[in-house]
Amino acid sequence: MAKKETAEKPIGEITHYFSNIGVAVLKLSQSLVVGVTIRIHGSTTDFEQMVDSMQIEHESIEKAKKGQEIGIKVKEKVREGDLVYKVE
């Protein structure tokens, strides 16, 4: 009997974290829009949050495309290499 596929596909990876302002830099492998709930998961990180806002070069955006690096405010500390998933 085949195992049920529960593995989510990552939509991006954390490349940097600014602890003083609680902002993560996320390199996207899929598009992302404001209002989506994401899960950030790593060796010591695992939480979900809604994307309230995104920025590229200090400009607020509503939608980001695959391949872009964006800044998002995160509610907990994240680490470089943590993977980001879209919660369905």
Q: State how beta strands 69-73 and 59-61 pair.
A: unpaired
Integer CA distances (angstroms), 49 to 1, 26, 60, in order: 34, 14, 18
Model confidence at 79, pLDDT cuts 50, 70, 90, reads very high
Residue 24 carries which DSSP code?
E
For 34-71, how does the pLDDT look when each residue is reduced to its tens digit (9 = 90+)? 999 999 999 999 999 999 999 999 999 999 999 999 99
Provide the residue ranges of all domains of the chain, joining segments of one domain with +. 10-86
Q: What is the mean pLDDT of residues 65-79?
A: 98
Q: What is the mean pLDDT of the chain?
A: 93
CATH of 10-86, one of 1.10.3470.10, 3.40.50.720, 2.40.30.10, 1.10.760.10: 2.40.30.10
pLDDT band at 8 (very low <50, low <70, confident <90, very high): confident
